[in-house]
Structure 1
Amino acid sequence: MENQRTQQRIKMIYQMLFEMATGNLTFRIIKTDQNDELEKLSEILNNLAGQLHDIILQSGHVNPHYSYQNLVQTTFILDDNFIINNFNTHVPEALYYESEELFQVDFGKFIAPQSFSIWNQKKMEASLDDNYHSTFQLIYITGNNKLLPTFCTISRLRYSDKIIVNSVTTILQELLSDTKYVIKTATEKQSEAVIIQNLYDYILNHLEQPLPTLKELAVQFDSNEYRLKFGFREFFKTSIYNFYHEERLKRAHLLIQQTKIPLKEIAIMNGFNTYLNFYKAFKKRFEYTPSEVDRGPSADV
């Protein structure tokens, strides 16, 4: 029983990190009566999220969350000198380079300093072994000077001097560009940003519950229906209900892909009263059914 509680607490820490990574700074880990390292870490994460949230609001920004552009696979084909001979279509998008900037270039140019030592080691090993195959973590540095952690395999092609580097990573995709959510006007506009931010955060933290009416939301956020309705659309270019509905389905899709949770439970977790309602909404949005999503060989349907 104690081991299950510990696993659940670790799971909540992972969930907290996931929410912070996607921009949700209102998620909190519930305190326990334990006085251990996990509890201390949980408190640090809660405090960090609170401080970031306050700083962003005080500076007059609306903080949009991010959506995961689900696992992206990049494939490089290198020659015996580790020069890039070819790559798949996802590479320029993932690394923020134009295709011509990648072609016939030393692969090492795109490795972050943190990964230099491990990449040099893998190069030496691959040079000495015609049947080489290895799996390891690698950090790319992108064209916009950001770090992109990946999980890689490097292997040699049989009957060829070519070397294949496959990488899998998860890319964060901005919902809005920077210029659209920076508020440059005075106090009244900043106050509106705070209200819309709070509404935005509330929706994302209550996707498993029915969405209150616009009138109820206006009372809850000490505003009025007109201000909420048009303020939300001004900042996020969609209606409150459409945003709520879209986010429920996107989160459900991600849960189907990346967890073993049964489909009926995923439907309930995302605020659908019946699996049939979830099934119809999911199929209408994605044009395929929940059971058609690839859950991987070990996932339970």
Structure 2
Amino acid sequence: MENQTTQQRIKAIHQMLFEMATGNLSFRITKTDQNDEIDKLSEILNKLAEQMHDIILRSGYVNPHYSYQNVVQTTFILDDNFIISNFNAHVPDALYYKSEELFQVDFGKFIAPQSFNIWNKKKMEASLDDNYHSTVQLIFITGNNKLSPTFCTISRLRYSNKIIVNSITTILQELLSDEKYVIKTASEKQSEAVIMQNLYDYILNHLEEPLPTLKKLAAMFASEEHKLKIGFRKYFNTSVYNFYHLERLKKSHLLIQKTEIPLKEIAFICGFSAYLNFYKAFKKQYGYAPSDLNRPSE
């Protein structure tokens, strides 16, 4: 039991690091009464996130952390000799290679030496099993000479000799270099940035709940309805409600792909009171039904 609790606390640290990497500085690790090295590290990370948040706001920036926009799916299609015959549009961006550097190249060329043995083993297994499916961590060498550890699913296509390698990768974007996120004047504008940042963080942290009206949100953040409406669109290029609606759908899309939670439960987790409403909104946004997505059990 103690070992399981320790693993959960370490997992919370991993989650914190991921959230910070994607720009979410509102995430915090809950302190325990154990007062050990894990607690001390957690406290350091919490303080670091607070300091970064304060510095960004004092500098006159908003911090649009794209928790779900940053997560992209990379897909390689390999022939029976494990040569890359195709890949989706996210692969070049995720691995920092040009498309022509990837096409018709041995997939193993992009595997780091630390993963050679694992990849060779998986190749042998996939060659011998027409129904092969496995999940494994592989370390890639990127085009900018960095190592990228990624969990991949390796599977054979039915009625074909093709092999699919899928993974979920985080692509960080240089958002704060964009001038539209910079506030060019002093104190009054900075206080507006603080309000918009707090509203943005509030929405992302309460996607499972109904969105309060603009009037209630204005009262919560000591502002006015029209200021929230105009300010949010100015900084994030969308309305408050549309942002909330799209983020719920992005969260549901990710949960469907990465978990085995029933679809009706996912709809509830993402703030939809009725599955039919969720189904219609999802299909309108993505052009296909929630049940059309491949799930881990498949």
TM-score tier, shorter chain, comes to 0.7 to 0.9
What secondary structure is seen at the aligned counterpart in 1 of 2:249? helix
Q: Distance in 2 between matches of 1:124 and 1:27?
A: 39
Q: In angstroms, what is the RMSD of aligned CA positions?
A: 4.2
Q: How does 1:137-156 map to 2 (within 5 A)?
A: 137-142=138-143, 148-151=148-151
CA contact 2:260–2:296 (8 Å) conserved in 1 = no
Q: Distance in 1 between matches of 2:225 and 2:174?
A: 24
Deviations 1:218-248 (A, max 9, x none): 1221222222111110111110000001101
Residue 295 (structure 1) shift: 1.4
1:186 is aligned to 185
TM-score, normalised by the number of residues in structure 2? 0.73
Q: Distance in 2 between matches of 1:175 and 1:215?
A: 33
5+ long unaligned stretches in structure 1? 126-130, 155-163
Q: Distance in 2 between matches of 1:62 and 1:249?
A: 23
Deviations 1:119-171 (A, max 9, x none): 6x89999xxxxx89xx763243345x7764335799xxxxxxxxx99573513
2:241 is aligned to 241
Q: How does 1:115-264 map to 2 (within 5 A)?
A: 115=112, 137-142=138-143, 148-151=148-151, 168-172=167-171, 174=173, 178-187=177-186, 188-264=188-264
What secondary structure is seen at the aligned counterpart in 1 of 2:271? coil
CA contact 2:71–2:168 (8 Å) conserved in 1 = no
Q: Distance in 1 between matches of 2:152 and 2:290?
A: 29
Letter in 1 for 2:282: F
Q: How does 1:103-118 map to 2 (within 5 A)?
A: 115=112
Residue 55 (structure 1) shift: 2.1
Letter in 2 for 1:191: S
Letter in 1 for 2:46: N
CA contact 2:259–2:295 (8 Å) conserved in 1 = yes
Say yes or no: does 1:294 pair with 2:286.
no
Corresponding pairs, count: 282
What secondary structure is seen at the aligned counterpart in 2 of 1:260? coil
1:13 is aligned to 13
TM-score, normalised by the number of residues in structure 1? 0.73
5+ long unaligned stretches in structure 2? 122-126, 129-135, 155-162
Q: Distance in 2 between matches of 1:2 and 1:124?
A: 37
Task: Check 1:276–1:42 CA distance in 2 against 1; reply closer, same or farther (3 A cut).
Answer: farther
Q: Distance in 2 between matches of 1:287 and 1:104?
A: 31
Identity %: 60
Deviations 1:160-208 (A, max 9, x none): xxxx995735132649573144415121333222221111111111111
What secondary structure is seen at the aligned counterpart in 1 of 2:138? strand
Task: Select between 167-176 and 248-257 the one with higher mean Cα deviation.
Answer: 167-176
Residue 267 (structure 1) shift: 2.1
CA contact 2:78–2:85 (8 Å) conserved in 1 = yes
